[in-house]
Amino acid sequence: MGHIIQSLNQNWFFKLGSEDLTQSPSEKKCYEKVNLPHSVTLTPAISSGGINYQGECVYYKALTFTDAEKNKKIILEFDGAMGVTDVYLNGKYFTTHYCSYLPLVIDITEEVKFNEENIIALKLDNSDNGDVPPGTPQSSLDFTYEGGLYREARMHIVDKLYVTHALLADEQAGGGLFVSYEDVSEEYATIKIKTHIKNEVKEAQTFKLIHELLDQEGNNVQTLISEHSLNLDEAKHFEQHMEVNAPQLWSMERPYLYKLVTSIVEGEICYDQITTTIGIRTFQFTVDKGLLFNGKSVKVPGANYHHTTVYIGNAMPASLLRRDALKLRQAGFKNIRSHYPLTPAFVEACDEYGMTMIVGAPGWQWFKEGIFETYAKDNVRKMVRWLRNHPSILIWEPLLNESYMPEAFKKAVHDIVHEEYSYRDCYTGSDDDVTDILYKNFFDEKEPEEKSVLKKPLWVREYNDRPDDWNNQGCAWRVPRGWGEGPMLKAVERALGQDAQSQRQNYVDMVNDDAICGYGLWPAIEYNRGYHVAPCWGGVLDLYRVPKFAYYFFKSQQDRAESGVILFIANYWSEISANDVIVYSNAERVRLYHNDTFIEEIGPDDVKVQYPPFTFKNVRNRCKKRERSVIKVEALINGEVVATEVRQSPGIQKQLKLEADFMGIPLKADGSDIVMVYCKVLDEEGNVVPFTADSYPILFTVEGEGEIIGDASIGANPICPEGGIATIMVRSTQKAGPIKVKAELFWKQPIAKGVQGDSLIFESVK
């Protein structure tokens, strides 16, 4: 039979509020039929200040098992359940789960009824709970507890001679499959494979354990076969070493992934087979040479990220998470940090796109001795067991973010990481010197002398975000895209150390400090939070994932061999645009033309970054005057033109243009997948009109196998543009087929010069 994995995402019944789950669920008419990931309520795009629901909710689903599943292991796995979760099976209490950011995994084998309905029911409570990490009440929290079964779920059905689940086995540095590496080079590598197998089939079960390494084309690179035996109810770890000649190494620039297929076979019977995606790499943090990744010294540009978006909060399907990861990687970020373990879909995207990760234990400015402390330690142990095989994991962050903690606790969680990952290439990081890597804190006016003598590798966990104070939180970096060119240019000035608030924690400081191994921009994308009425407006992407000017600046800091030639005009060339024309590029020189007339050719500004901006001074006053016109820039390498960018003065709004943000990731017909659809307000020449139409609400309609998320009650539809772009989210149904999106002004304009609507047709796929 092997190992069957079935999605549990579809066809749940949901109700806001509480219910006695020892009784049969009440009439289905009291419930809403939903699919996972699921948000308990929809919220406005700007939902900071505790607008989201907190309290109890209930989910249930019927499962039916036939005689074919008798004598099988049946395991349910939920990637995330927000809050304290009580689980019931067939009206009987089963267990309680206490972490919102680590999987809920349950073995229901002994409780299943065959050839009749089984009811799995969960009661979730995302209310403030000081005993459960992160612990901070939402009203004091810099993010939100949005609630629900907000990540994916699945069921494992496998014969009873099987590879255990790492979170169920409860084995230190073991359980499941554990892959690590030795002697890694471009010529040779050793893969250490530790497999935990349990026999619940019969006495003295003899079997073959087979490991096959497949390359990206599916070719077999290496095979290991060994014979073993286990007594009934015996579980044991088996360790093998696989030698690989000329391995393709995983790196941030070339994230090569192998498939490790592990099978348990006796004769013609395959009892279990699992596939693990791995990347062969080695890294070492040093004081004098920085981070040595596959033997090469690198400094890693990174960013901080929250798993949340508009309307649906945390309940982001895999496609939205993957698009976030891809957008950030294309901007040049090679590390992602968060205040909790992120969902598997995002981690897998980091594996594929070449972004390393700092995995943080759930925590934010909170600590309590007792139950909280016990849960916090347990979270650290489980997050290592859960994510240890991913090549993207670079640093484990076991200490709770910005929290006072006793010394004994800090040492304990650091030690737990090394107990659970007892091989090389394991590093912990924090603000405290207990860990392997020290986070360098630029909030201090002077670096404490005692840090300089610790002789530990340094990483800057957060930089660039320095509000005026922690009450008002005005900041040159925290500017919405809709504020326009001036504030967005000011945000880049902050990164370049050109504004007075920067004070030693900007991008210029990061790239010019040789002691730093890596650094994380705070934040990468705008997000809502509990303790403030305004979202955190910082980031290179806005709430709807539309790029700000800063996105293109950071994108331009990449080498051309990796990103190609980047060329962006940070100027709308409108009547109210800045006199200077600033260009972000990784070219050597840039030429400027006005209405095809050559103006000048310049080199980069005198700024200490690898690819400084190019500033053409006083261009508007010199060239534009009153007329609408066109500016063009050319990027030059070795005197040759390698890229061209044009900006035309925007005219009056004339038409709408719809675009679906697929980024090569199709929309799945599973009832929960989502794609953002952008509606650009254009003039007659096809230029985005950034301001004059921002007060005109746009009404969207959908036909076919999709639906718009949200309506007028939360300001989702109709919606006004921001900087000339309005955004909706379209969710698929469970049936594959065409989806037609229409956009038109909410208030009709019957005159001939009125704004014309648009329609867009795309398809969801199975």
- Does residue 453 register a pLDDT over 90? no
- Higher-scoring residue by pLDDT: 501, 102: 102
Predicted local distance difference test score (pLDDT) of residue 50: 93
- Does residue 754 register a pLDDT over 90? no
Q: What is the DSSP string of 398-436?
A: -SPBT----HHHHHHHHHHHHHHS-SSS--BEESSTTSS
Pick among 2.60.120.260, 3.40.47.10, 3.30.565.10, 3.50.50.60: CATH of 3-156: 2.60.120.260
Give the type of residue at 72: K
Give residue-wise pLDDT tens across range 697-706: 999 999 999 9
C-alpha closest to that of 548 among 708, 356, 675, 723: 723
Distance CA 53, CA 145 (A): 8
Find out whether the peptide bond into 134 is cis, omega within 30 degrees of 0: yes
Distance, first Cα to last Cα, the chain: 25
Give the type of residue at 309: T
Q: To which residue do tokens 């006053």 refer? A: 621
Distance CA 575, CA 20 (A): 64
C-alpha closest to that of 605 among 617, 594, 597: 617
pLDDT band, residue 442 (cuts 50/70/90): very low
pLDDT band, residue 502 (cuts 50/70/90): low
Residue 441 to residues 93, 227, 298, 406, 493: CA-CA distances in angstroms? 47, 53, 21, 20, 21
How crowded is residue 698: how many other Cβ atoms within 10 Å of its Cβ?
23
- Does residue 27 register a pLDDT over 70? no
- Does residue 446 register a pLDDT over 60? no
What is the mean pLDDT of the segment spanning 561-580? 95
Q: Out of 72-86, 150-164, 456-470, 632-646, which region has the weakest mean confidence (pLDDT)? A: 456-470
Going by DSSP bridges, is the β-strand pair 458-463/437-439 parallel, antiparallel, or unpaired? Answer: parallel
Predicted local distance difference test score (pLDDT) of residue 454: 61
Distance CA 5, CA 97 (A): 22
pLDDT band, residue 751 (cuts 50/70/90): confident
Q: What is the DSSP-derived secondary structure letter of residue 252?
A: S
Spacing of C-alpha 7 from chain mean position: 21
- Does residue 26 register a pLDDT over 70? no
Superfamily of domain 655-765, CATH level 4: Immunoglobulins (2.60.40.10)
Give the 3-state secondary structure of residue 23. coil
What is the mean pLDDT of the segment spanning 488-505? 82
Superfamily of domain 562-648, CATH level 4: Immunoglobulins (2.60.40.10)
> How is domain 166-278 classified at the CATH fold level?
Immunoglobulin-like (2.60.40)
Predicted local distance difference test score (pLDDT) of residue 374: 98
Give residue-wise pLDDT tens across range 80-138: 999 999 999 999 999 999 999 999 999 999 999 999 999 999 999 999 999 999 999 99
Residue 87 to residues 84, 192, 429, 712: CA-CA distances in angstroms? 10, 37, 35, 35
Mean pLDDT highest for which of 15-24, 523-532, 621-630? 523-532
Give the 3-state secondary structure of residue 533. coil
C-alpha closest to that of 710 among 674, 739, 682: 674
What is the mean pLDDT of the segment spanning 164-179? 98
pTM of the model: 0.96
Burial tier of 729 (Cβ tally within 10 Å: 0-12, 13-18, 19+):
buried
Question: Token pair of 284, please?
Answer: 């070492």
Give residue-wise pLDDT tens across range 296-318: 999 999 999 999 999 999 999 99
Distance CA 413, CA 6 (A): 35
How is the chain split among helix, strand and coil, in percent rounded to 5? 15, 40, 45
- Does residue 159 register a pLDDT over 90? yes
Distance CA 708, CA 690 (A): 24
What is the Cα Rg of the chain in Å? 27
Distance CA 453, CA 163 (A): 46
- Does residue 529 register a pLDDT over 60? yes
Going by DSSP bridges, is the β-strand pair 516-521/458-463 parallel, antiparallel, or unpaired? Answer: parallel
Give the 3-state secondary structure of residue 743. strand
Q: What percent of the chain has pLDDT over 70?
A: 97
Q: Out of 468-477, 558-567, 605-614, which region has the weakest mean confidence (pLDDT)? A: 468-477
Give the 3-state secondary structure of residue 169. helix
Q: What percent of the chain has pLDDT over 90?
A: 90
3-156 and 166-278, same CATH topology: no
Mean pLDDT of all residues in the chain? 94
- Does residue 384 register a pLDDT over 90? yes
> What count of residues does the chain have?
766
Distance CA 444, CA 669 (A): 51
What is the mean pLDDT of the segment spanning 31-36? 96
Give residue-wise pLDDT tens across range 217-257: 999 999 999 999 999 999 999 999 999 999 999 999 999 99
Give residue-wise pLDDT tens across range 4-24: 999 999 999 999 999 989 887
Predicted local distance difference test score (pLDDT) of residue 445: 45
φ, ψ of residue 512 in degrees (nearest 5): -105, 5
Domain-wise residue ranges, the chain: 3-156, 166-278, 562-648, 655-765
Predicted local distance difference test score (pLDDT) of residue 443: 44
